[in-house]
Amino acid sequence: MTILKIKKVREMKDEERSEKSRELRLEIAKEIAAAEVGGNIKNPGNIRAMKKSIARILTVQHEKKDGESK
């Protein structure tokens, strides 16, 4: 999983951002489920990075939405 930079997120289309957000949420759910079952997480910082990427995506989506409504 790569960390999404804000510049890359802004270059994405709306559909791409939505799809990437869904993928990241699914990956986070898998990582958390694996940890709860007792599995060893390879990289605990990866969950945090994915959450930050989702936050960046949502930020850009809200910026676009606010820009259109004005």
Residue 60 confidence (pLDDT): 95
End-to-end CA distance of the chain: 35
Nearest to 63 by CA among 2, 4, 17, 1: 17
| Average pLDDT along the chain, 70 residues, taken 10 residues at a time | 86 95 95 86 88 96 82
Residue 43 confidence (pLDDT): 84
- What is the value of pTM for the model shown? 0.85
**CATH number of domain containing 16:** 1.10.287.310
Domain region containing 15: 6-69
In a domain, 1, yes or no: no
In a domain, 43, yes or no: yes
Residue 27 confidence (pLDDT): 94
Number of domains in the chain: 1
